[in-house]
Amino acid sequence: MGKFNSHYESEFNRIRLADLKPVSLVNLPLLIEIPGGPWTAILEADLTDYAGMYLGGVPAMPNALVSRLSPLPGKIDKAVVGAAPKATPWRVLMIAPTPAGLLEDNDIILNLSAPCALPDTSWIRPGKTAWDWWTGSYAKNVPFTSGMNTATMNHYIDFASAHGIEYMLIDGGWYVFTADSNADDLLHASPAVDIPAILEHARAKNVKVILWVDWRPLDKKMDEVLAAYEKWGVAGIKVDSMNRDDQEMVNFYERCVKTAAAHHLIVDLHGAYKPTGQRRTYPNLLTQEGVMAMEFNLWSERTTPQHDVTVPFTRMLAGPIDYTPGAFRNAARGKFEARERDPMSQGTRAHQLAMYVVYDSPLAMLADYPEAYEGQPGLEFIEKVPTVWDDTRILDGQPGEFIVVARKKGGQWYIGAMTNWDAREMEIPLDFLGAGNFEAKVFADGPDAAEYGTSLSLAIESVMADGKLRIRLAPGGGYAAILSPDINR
């Protein structure tokens, strides 16, 4: 990003190590391809009461890197304040023969972080969430004016309930913004939003509610606000706009997730730096942004399919990634238009479905509005796909090119494949399945997906461990499948 105070939202650019300048400021994770192998990634873990680390070049030393720490606000010459003895974060080198190998069985960041600090985690529930922000709290063909109001939020809750979606995330706008964000009142909703009525409706529909908050007013009255949310029956918070990783902000993160845990609230961090393993200590921290995600399609063409298949090998090495998938207005190459009303995604619908498998996020968004999903092919996959897993296999992939991931939950395997703007055909060995016959329910690019991004083919196939899946990916395409034991054979 070239600066310390950022939201970690940009492309991952390819550059030779020798071309990094002493003035360069590189965010982590840094993925390094060594000619002839291996592949290496540089990260940090257990970032606690310390400053986030960046990397830069070294004068007259090609391929060397120097670490730099995020300075305290207004103190460019001071990064960490404390008394000895003081523990520092781990500096982590991940090493594997292939980039896919870096992702598989990747728990080093967690294992280097402090053990769980919560005596009881039974209340923490992963899941999927309906979400109003990406579409501007929009609804179509409804008997009310859509927007940030009680009727619209209840409408999204009804959709979530009807399709087995565990949460509804009510994003920015539910409380009154002021000219000074520090003074925003997080305990009183805007006149159009009746939070008690919405929470009562959600309870009746068996849907839990997450509320968006800006970090600045939360920091002022954290205990009071989060205690009130627990009393109201709120299930979690989305905390936004931090855009820093200096020591003061790192300490805010810990205080936030710790206080939220004390009030039985799950947490989603946005405007955030990369994960550093804090979710091991406080597992109520379900997911984290710190990535240029699909929201950029509202105003730019930057989140391309090439970017989509780069972030699994870069940002996702650090931990769960809130990429906000689920767009159902899908644009083939050359047909995308950045817009806020009825926003679009780049690539195919199967590309979006595959994100739910490829991207690790115990809290997964459904970015679109209810009418975009109802009656549409592909919704069934979103309904069924889990958000936490028993096993993961990275079957193939290259950064910026493509990726194929298989994840297991219970007796079922889920497969997600994504490509950049290049069409591909692949054969995927299924030797990870184990004995027996399996039925594969496939959601693949339709035959005309290169022209119409919404084109989706549905099929049922019989497969076994000694066989292969034949996958055809359109430009910007994807593939998603559910493999279940075939009890009839």
Tens digits of residue pLDDT in 142-160:
999 999 999 999 999 999 9
Q: Which helix (H) or strand (E) holds 219?
A: helix 215-220
Q: What number is the average pLDDT over the span 320-326?
A: 98
Q: Write out pLDDT tens, residues 85-119.
A: 999 999 999 999 999 999 987 899 999 999 999 99
> What residues pair up with 463 in beta bridges, in sequence order?
438
Over 90: is that where the pLDDT of 181 sits? no
Residue 179's pLDDT band, with cuts at 50, 70 and 90, is: confident
Over 90: is that where the pLDDT of 334 sits? yes
3-class secondary structure, 42: strand
Residue position matching structure tokens 């730019």: 300
User: What whole-number distance in Å separates Cα of residue 9 and Cα of residue 178?
Assistant: 26
| Nearest-5° Cα angle at 483, 480 to 486 | 150
Least confident of 68-82, 143-157, 175-189, 281-295: 175-189
Residue of 240, 289, 322, 371 with catalytic role: 240
Give residue 166's pLDDT. 98
Phi/psi region, residue 375 (left: phi>0; alpha: psi -120 to 50; beta: rest), is left
Q: Write out pLDDT tens, residues 252-288.
A: 999 999 999 999 999 999 999 999 999 999 999 999 9
Give residue 484's pLDDT. 96
Torsional sign, CA 324, 328, 333, 336: negative
Q: Which helix (H) or strand (E) holds 308?
A: helix 305-308
Residue 307's pLDDT band, with cuts at 50, 70 and 90, is: very high
Residue 182's pLDDT band, with cuts at 50, 70 and 90, is: confident
Amino acid at 232: W
Helix axes 247-262, 222-232, angle to 10 degrees: 30
> CB-based burial of residue 383 (10 Å sphere; 0-12 exposed, 13-18 middle, 19+ buried)?
middle
Secondary structure tally for the chain: helices H, strands E: 12, 22
Is residue 295 part of the annotated active site? The answer reads yes
> What residues pair up with 330 in beta bridges, in sequence order?
345
Residue of 268, 295, 308, 368 with catalytic role: 295
Residue 458's pLDDT band, with cuts at 50, 70 and 90, is: very high
Give residue 135's pLDDT. 97
Q: What number is the average pLDDT over the span 377-396?
A: 97
Q: Which domains does the chain have, with CATH numbers?
A: 17-106 (no CATH), 127-387 (3.20.20.70), 393-485 (2.60.40.1180)
Query: Are 65 and 28 within 8 A, CB to CB?
Result: no
Percent of the residues in the chain that have a pLDDT greater than 90, as a whole number: 95
Is residue 223 part of the annotated active site? The answer reads no
Q: Which two tokens stand for residue 390?
A: 């028993």
Query: Are 387 and 362 within 8 A, CB to CB?
Result: yes
- φ, ψ at 280 (rounded to 5°): -70, -45
Residue 295's pLDDT band, with cuts at 50, 70 and 90, is: very high
Over 70: is that where the pLDDT of 26 sits? yes
Give residue 106's pLDDT. 82
Give residue 488's pLDDT. 73
Question: What does the mean pLDDT of the chain come to?
Answer: 96
Query: Are 315 and 321 within 8 A, CB to CB?
Result: yes
Closest CA to 279 of 242, 308, 322, 218: 322
3-class secondary structure, 242: coil
Closest CA to 276 of 112, 388, 118: 112
Give residue 489's pLDDT. 64
Q: What number is the average pLDDT over the span 25-30?
A: 96
Give residue 231's pLDDT. 98
Residue position matching structure tokens 């009071």: 224
- φ, ψ at 412 (rounded to 5°): -110, 145
User: What whole-number distance in Å separates Cα of residue 475 and Cα of residue 423?
Assistant: 4
Q: What number is the average pLDDT over the span 392-410?
A: 97
Whether residue 85 is preceded by a cis peptide bond, meaning omega within 30 degrees of 0, is yes
Closest CA to 233 of 198, 185, 258, 268: 198
Give residue 38's pLDDT. 96
Closest CA to 70 of 95, 85, 89, 96: 89
Instruction: Provide the H-helix boundaries in 221-277.
Output: 222-232, 247-262
